[in-house]
Amino acid sequence: MNELQIEFTLNGRRIKRLVKPYWRLLDLLREELHFTGTKEGCGAGECGTCSVFVDGALIKSCLMPVAKIAGTEIQTVEGLARRDAPSLLQRAFHKTGASQCGYCIPGMVMAATAALRANAEADRDEIKERLGGNICRCTGYQKIIDAVELARDVINGAMPEAALEEEASDSFIGADVRRIDAPGKVTGALRYAGDMTLPDMLQMQVLRSTRAHARILSIDTSAAAALPGVEGVITCDDVPGKDGFGVFVHDQPVMARGKVRYVGEAIAAVAAEDLETAKEAVRRIVVEYEDLPAVFDPEEALAAGAPVLHDYAPDNLVKHIPIHKGNVDDGFGLADIIVENSYTTQQVEHAYLEPEAGLAYVDADGVVTILAPDQNITHHRHMLSDILALPINRIRLIMSPVGGGFGGKEDMIYQGMLALMAMKTLRPVRLVFTREESITVSAKRHPARINYKMGLRRDGRIVATEIRAVCDGGAYGFSTEGVMRKMAILGPGPYDIPNVKVDTYGVYTNNTPSGAFRTFGAMQSQFATESHLDLCAEKLGMDPFDLRKINAMRAGSTTHTQQSLERASLLQAFDAAIAASSWEAGPPTVRGSNRTDLGGEGTRRSCRLDSRLRVEAGKPDGTRVRGRGMAGSWYGIARTAAMDRAGAWVELDDGGTAKVITGVTEIGEGILTVLAQVAAEELGLTPADITLGDNDTARAPEAAHAGATRQTYMIANAVALAARDARSKFDREMAEHWGVAQDRIKAANGTIWVQGSNLRMSMAEAVALCKTQRGYVPVGSASYTAHHTGLDPVTGAGKPWQAYVFGCQVAEVEVDTVTGEVQVLGIWAAHDVGRAVNPRGVEGQIEGAVVQGLGQALMEEYKTVDGHSSTDSFAKYILPTSLDVPQINSIIIEDPDPLSPLGAKGIGEPALVPTVPAIINAIYDAVGIRINSLPATPEKVLEALRAKRKRMSSSEAA
Amino acid sequence: MLTCDDYRLPRSLKSALEAWSKAPEGSRLVAGATDTLPWARQGRAGDIVGDVHVPLLVDVTEVSALDSYRLQDDGRIRLGANLVFQQFLEDENLARYLPHMPPCALWFADDQIRRQATIAGNIVNASPAADGIPPLVALNAEVEIASLHDQEVVHRNLPLVEFVTGPGRTQLQPGEIVTAVTCDTALGYGGAFEKVGHRRSLVISIVCTSCCLKPSQDHKVFDDVRLALGGVGPVPMRLDDVETFLRGQTISPQVIAAASEIPLDRVASRTRREYRRDVIRGFVDRSIRDALARCGISLPPTHRPA
């Protein structure tokens, strides 16, 4: 191999290096120079996380052979500004809440910098165009675009620099406190697992199945093991304990055992001194397969005689969840109209920008330690204890910064291999997935086929709802059982219906597994419900809001699981959405062309990609038609139909600061900032005074996973209670010191005082006094419990949650009748969150959820052909870009939960539920076609328009 | 990812041709490398660990003879092979001569890839969905190809429509390098580019349409129209029948509507045929209207039922 000597300038410093001829600029930056602010999201120029300047031009460094950079000047995110003095643009990102998980953000900052360098006067449309090559999966882009506009205005003097600072606030709960983790994200300083190295570290690679269903006759690893530089090869034979993982059923071995059940399943892993050697070793492993009949359709898998995937489930059924209330046959007998329809939803990829990655080592005390972006280290430690046959405290999981999760990083798909390899080699090992590996191997959103039957009275009362959903769970159980449960419980929607029959079935097939994904099944079933209600509203000639209001759950309503609701904010959400969107009432009878509420200030301009052209495109030619739709939604907060709990420790610390220790899982949603706000408020400090401990199973109390929209509800409440505990002990000491009653002690913003006196001191002084004069360290702890009960196995009756949230979205779309393309121009999203601890963070969650919903409604579809992925890259798996997103108008409703010490509930998942049906209903309003099968691609829309024209011409002929 | 034993960046055309003609079997020639690097991955050309190994990569971006563009004496324009798509957006002079290229460039990949991706690379890659080919086909583009004969650089020219023979297939012979594309200029024309994919940035065309046209001075008739389609068959296609129909015709919605019916049978794709037929009809109509608007001619809409 002919290595190349290259010289170049990196962020102003001359560098000379010998490089491999095939390296990309990205490899040189990351692996050789450790400039890890430049991320690798896809390796194919399809995501923009690796954007850097070369001689002043922004390029994607994964597409630049390193030989090209000889003699050039490279600028990376680290070179934009020192990280202790960020650029105006980076500060603007901090201010507007433009970073969530942060993985796309260095690239996004680079693209935004390039945009303003190219045109310091760029308007919003031009900014969006210039950011069109950078994908963000968390934010929905809105706050990113806001940040670029803010920076532009500050740079141009239209806004003062002070606009970049945080607004002063006396109270931290309810304030737009800037994210505490944003500075490290906007500067590229934060290191994710794939950015980390350990001395003497080995690189790991995985051999994966090329067969959908096959018996493994033999695995010959001898040639791999013999390769110089290979330090370890593992297969299922290396598992010392009880092999099996999964969220509800432990049906998946760490590596294939006896047979493979899907393409991409891990079979063996290799660790070597470098990545090239590890890959070469993987190529040398020989697997002898005997193909088995495979099944790729869930209905076929349920049929008698279908190939069986797992011996324990001869019917291929992962789980059936029934919810039966009243008697639907009686209900249908009372109905004036009965409406039936079928709906299908597609398999959807999480597409977090950070591919899976992790490091593992066995520490000096023999503790097997795994560092990974892991959404549920609590559960993974439990499972690893069985798999590795080690006491639970000999296993330690540390959560590395998570570059997006959305449920996809709840599954333990590689941590077991890392642990085994560290144990085998007794050296640190690192595994970093490629994008293709991430897409083909990780679990997806369950595709569902839903048969729907609803009976209504002429006045709009729903008298019976019957839903049957069959869902493809893929090859392993993952979260299927829980997804089926939530899909069923929430399926009929937030409506008081006397007779309900819901049956959801999760089924094994030889497809890529399905698992947890934001809403956990609730969006699939509620997409059907909210589409169906539009059908019914049209038949009844009713406004879609009116139909839903008649049936809306209210305080005192009984849920489908026969739980009596003490509160319900649905009507508030409906009224808020109507008011904010200036909704023009009327039945959903394709009113699009006659509406007068279109194109208002809550919408954006239709995208024409012409902001930089000096000439105008043609005038509207009548081929683009607009319309509006709406949908309601509900959601349960925290773990479903099971007791939920979270713990926290708090210590008032030297200097008037505090340590807050809890196993919280920040996956980008902003929970760390929420906890800092809550702790500051409760302790009388400021958020900057709070030191948050890592999520580490060996160092922090259990707070479990990021999921089920549970973290603000469970963990912020645990932190609030632990802070109150610490404060109460501290106040007791201070009261004794001052000789006053404890209830007169107050503290805020770093000062403590006695009410009605002039006794006061700083918290720093008070903590020192408490320790040195009182001899007391003020520590507190707490656990917060949500008292949920399981469901009756026959009727589904039970109390799955104690807190519910309700929401409503209105969508305005433009359908291009030439191409079938749908642009969503505006979304009005009204959501109850209980209490918004950080309103800007709530907006960020709503915006991100809406755009994920938009992706599912219009473009995203994970496809397989005989079990082989045909959408294994971001070129084929299409995600929304900055040019595809609507203006999102968030309306926050606060209906505090009486059982929550903070009143707060949650927003992470619920905001995604109504987006898809609102968009689909709006398409109907615009052009009179109903898309029952997601996504509404341009092809599907035009096909439906063709069919509609055919119907109309044949009915005219008749 | 793509691996190689050697990477060469020759500075002259002759040394590039020497390196390329002697390159071992399986070697690749690259310019921007924006197609080659994604190609060499898992699920595309990559092996079980997602790698492709080639002996040699010859990179022609340092060959200055392939840079830039110039107007020729015959009134045509010569676009150097290494011209990148972003130049159509940033070079106003170029945009005057090729007014349909800026809207094409806006739809081409994204701002960053456009700084790397070259015009010759887009042609040689020969994707049926290539956005850069239809606008050139419509301007009678010819591909200029260099090779070495007895240590001398020789050139041959081929019409672009003949050069591209199928998906990923061209008439390029071993040892040959594309050095330029020449095409008609369209000074004073209005240009338009329509494209549909599954989103509005960084997306592969399902259908694209390029149009540039020149109205008569009194804005009454079409003096010249150039139309071509991408994404509708194995190779990009010039709509010469529509052009012939329109040349000399009165500019009116009815004439445009009639013209947009003509190419429907040209769809040769094996998938999504009905869809593509529908889109072509609308795109021909819309691109003509957009191009006319850019000449200052605005037409009333033709009503089309939704």
Q: Is A825 helix (H, G, I), strand (E, B) or coil?
A: strand
Residue A617 has pLDDT above 70, yes or no: no
| Residues 6+ positions from A864 with CB-CB distance below 8 Å | A263, A296, A347, A511, A512, A870
- Among residues B183, B206, B233, the one where a domain terminates is B183
- E strand segments, A177-283: 202-208, 214-220, 230-234, 259-260, 266-272
Per-residue model confidence (pLDDT) at position A618? 67
Closest-approach residue (CA) in chain A for B271: A939
Distance CA A651, CA A776 (A): 11
| Residues 6+ positions from B210 with CB-CB distance below 8 Å | B100, B104, B134, B135, B138, B191, B192, B193, B226, B227, B228, B229, B230, B287
Q: ipTM score here? A: 0.97
Distance of CA A223 to CAs A76, A232, A903, B190, Å? 41, 12, 61, 64
Band of residue A957 on the pLDDT scale cut at 50, 70, 90: confident
**What is the CATH number that goes with domain A552-586+595-609+634-639+806-864+877-949?**
3.30.365.10
A794-823: average pLDDT:
98
Q: What is the pTM of this model?
A: 0.98
Distance CA A622, CA A923 (A): 16
Per-residue model confidence (pLDDT) at position A167? 87
Per-residue model confidence (pLDDT) at position A958? 64
Residue B303 has pLDDT above 80, yes or no: no
Q: Across the A/B interface, how many CB contacts are shorter than 8 Å?
A: 236
Phi and psi at residue A235, to the nearest 5°: -135, -175
Domain ranges of chain A: 4-80, 88-190, 191-513, 552-586+595-609+634-639+806-864+877-949, 644-786
A303-316: average pLDDT:
98
Average pLDDT of the residues of chain A: 97
A130-145: average pLDDT:
98
Distance CA B38, CA B45 (A): 9
Distance CA B228, CA B282 (A): 14
Co-location of B232 and B283 in the same domain: yes
**Do the Cβ atoms of A153 and A86 come closer than 8 Å?**
no
Q: Which of A133, A621, A946 sits opposite B201 (nearest CB)?
A: A133
Cβ within 8 Å, pair A65-B306: no
Residue A771 CA, distance from chain mean position: 43
- The nearest CA of chain B is from the CA of A178 a distance in Å of 31
Whole domain around residue B278: which residue ranges?
190-293
Band of residue A616 on the pLDDT scale cut at 50, 70, 90: low
Residue B306 has pLDDT above 50, yes or no: no
Looking up tokens 């209207």 gives: B289
Distance CA B303, CA A454 (A): 38
The pLDDT tens digits for A8-65 are: 999 999 999 999 999 999 999 999 999 999 999 999 999 999 999 999 999 999 999 9
> Which residue of A939, A946, A949, A952 to mutate against B (max B Cβ within 10 Å)?
A939
Could you give the number of structural domains in chain B? Answer: 3
Distance of CA A914 to CAs A504, A528, A534, Å? 20, 11, 13
Residue A466 has pLDDT above 80, yes or no: yes
Fold entry, domain A644-786? Aldehyde Oxidoreductase; domain 4 (3.30.365)
The two tokens of residue B66 are 């392939």
The pLDDT tens digits for A176-232 are: 999 999 999 999 999 999 999 999 999 999 999 999 999 999 999 999 999 999 999
Co-location of B46 and B123 in the same domain: no
Name the DSSP letter for residue B172: P
Co-location of B75 and B178 in the same domain: yes
Q: Is B156 helix (H, G, I), strand (E, B) or coil?
A: strand
The pLDDT tens digits for A105-123 are: 999 999 999 999 999 999 9
The two tokens of residue A842 are 């709530």
Prior bond to A687 cis, omega within 30? no
Cβ within 8 Å, pair B38-A873: yes
- The nearest CA of chain B is from the CA of A822 a distance in Å of 9
| Residues 6+ positions from A152 with CB-CB distance below 8 Å | A116, A120, A121, A122, A127, A158
A240-265: average pLDDT:
98
A683-692, B136-145, B164-173, B291-300: segment of lowest average pLDDT? B291-300
Residue B206 has pLDDT above 60, yes or no: yes
CATH number of the structural domain spanning residue B202:
3.30.390.50
Shared fold status for A88-190 and A191-513: no
In a domain, B118, yes or no: yes
The pLDDT tens digits for A358-387 are: 999 999 999 999 999 999 999 999 999 999
Distance CA B60, CA B30 (A): 6
Written as one letter, the residue type at A508 is Y
- Among residues B166, B183, B200, the one where a domain terminates is B183
Burial (0-12, 13-18, 19+ Cβ within 10 Å), A462: buried
Co-location of B201 and B218 in the same domain: yes
Cβ within 8 Å, pair B32-A63: yes
CATH number of the structural domain spanning residue B100:
3.30.465.10
The pLDDT tens digits for A541-566 are: 999 999 999 999 999 999 999 999 99
Cβ within 8 Å, pair A21-B61: no
User: Architecture of A191-513 per CATH?
Assistant: 2-Layer Sandwich (3.30)
Residue A956 contacts B where some CB pair is shorter than 8 Å: no
Cβ within 8 Å, pair A63-B47: no
User: Architecture of A4-80 per CATH?
Assistant: Roll (3.10)
Co-location of B75 and B161 in the same domain: yes
Co-location of B160 and B195 in the same domain: no
Distance CA A675, CA A716 (A): 6
Co-location of B161 and B196 in the same domain: no
**Do the Cβ atoms of A420 and A232 come closer than 8 Å?**
no
Co-location of B15 and B45 in the same domain: yes
| Residues 6+ positions from A615 with CB-CB distance below 8 Å | B99, B190, B293, B294
In a domain, B303, yes or no: no
Per-residue model confidence (pLDDT) at position A169? 83
Looking up tokens 């190689």 gives: B4
A892-915: average pLDDT:
97
- Among residues B167, B183, B199, the one where a domain terminates is B183
The pLDDT tens digits for A857-896 are: 999 999 999 999 999 999 999 999 999 999 999 999 999 9
In a domain, B225, yes or no: yes
Domain A88-190: top CATH class: mainly alpha
B306 contacts on A by Cβ (under 8 Å): 593, 625, 815, 817, 926-928, 945, 948
The pLDDT tens digits for A71-111 are: 999 999 999 999 999 999 999 999 999 999 999 999 999 99
Written as one letter, the residue type at A392 is I
- The nearest CA of chain A is from the CA of B37 a distance in Å of 6
**Do the Cβ atoms of B112 and A60 come closer than 8 Å?**
yes
Q: Which of B34, B42, B275 sits opposite A942 (nearest CB)?
A: B275
In a domain, B304, yes or no: no
Partners of A245 in beta bridges: A252
| Residues 6+ positions from B67 with CB-CB distance below 8 Å | B80, B82, B83
Written as one letter, the residue type at A346 is Q
| Residues 6+ positions from A528 with CB-CB distance below 8 Å | A343, A448, A450, A452, A467, A469, A491
Q: Which of B34, B207, B289 sits opposite A63 (nearest CB)?
A: B34
In a domain, B300, yes or no: no
Q: Which of A4, A210, A878 sits opposite B199 (nearest CB)?
A: A878
Distance CA A485, CA A462 (A): 23
Distance CA B32, CA B38 (A): 12
